[in-house]
A and B are shown apart, each in its own frame.
Chain A
């Protein structure tokens, strides 16, 4: 079974703090993704990576950065957290062919006060 894990299920941070969200997958997948999910807006892609040290902007990259130093790990960084970044953050991975589905981690519910 594919397993995607995220470092925290719940996180509370203050405005202006630097926040790191970690994601690890154990299936040697090429592609990894970060989404945020908000009521009424669905899942929106923040960043994705199709190889180590490679990254591509998704639909809403502003205020975020990512790091992929190892194939199994994809980190999302909020350089200076703001209240509008309060959301559910979901990491996903996929093997890399066009027909492959994505496997999601359990999510991190981030609250920025």
Chain B
């Protein structure tokens, strides 16, 4: 079983749609959680951290459910520029310095006009 699992998609949605991505992780001792965004042929970049209380950044809302080991990302009012691959990322406590990030395979989103 993969440590971080995501639906690879692709998700094809029209502009203005609301889309939700889900992610599960297997290590209950995981410390921190993130969503990264990766554009085609570019490097991953941090989109937002995910906190237990949930957090929102404009059209993006991230939720964490530690009991179910489940992370979600909701994008409202999708824009063409949201088209990218979204990576669910979990930090474990396995290493004593800086931790280790475990990346999901990513969910591809394509927003169409």
- Using a CB–CB cutoff of 8 Å, the interface residues on chain A facing chain B are 30-31, 33, 40-43, 45, 48, 50-51, 56, 58, 90, 94, 96-107
Contacts and interface: CB of A to CB of B under 8 A. Distances in A.
A42 B31 contact: no
B104 A50 contact: no
B105 A41 contact: yes
B32 interface: yes
Interface of B: 31-32, 34, 42-46, 49, 87, 91, 93, 95, 97-101, 103-106
Q: Which 10 A-B pairs have the closest CB atoms?
A: A50-B97, A104-B43, A31-B98, A43-B103, A42-B105, A101-B46, A42-B103, A98-B99, A96-B98, A104-B44
A43 B44 contact: yes
Contacts of B97: 30-31, 50-51, 96
A94 B91 CA distance: 13
B98 A105 contact: no
Nearest to B43: A104
Contacts of B100: 45, 48, 58
A41 B105 CA distance: 6
Contacts of A104: 43-45
B104 A42 contact: yes
A94 B100 CA distance: 11
A48 B43 CA distance: 18
A50 B43 contact: no
Given A96-B97, A98-B99, A101-B34, 18 more contacts: A30-B97, A40-B105, A42-B87, A45-B100, A45-B101, A48-B95, A50-B98, A56-B95, A94-B98, A98-B31, A98-B93, A98-B98, A99-B31, A99-B49, A100-B98, A102-B46, A104-B43, A106-B43
Contacts of B87: 42-43
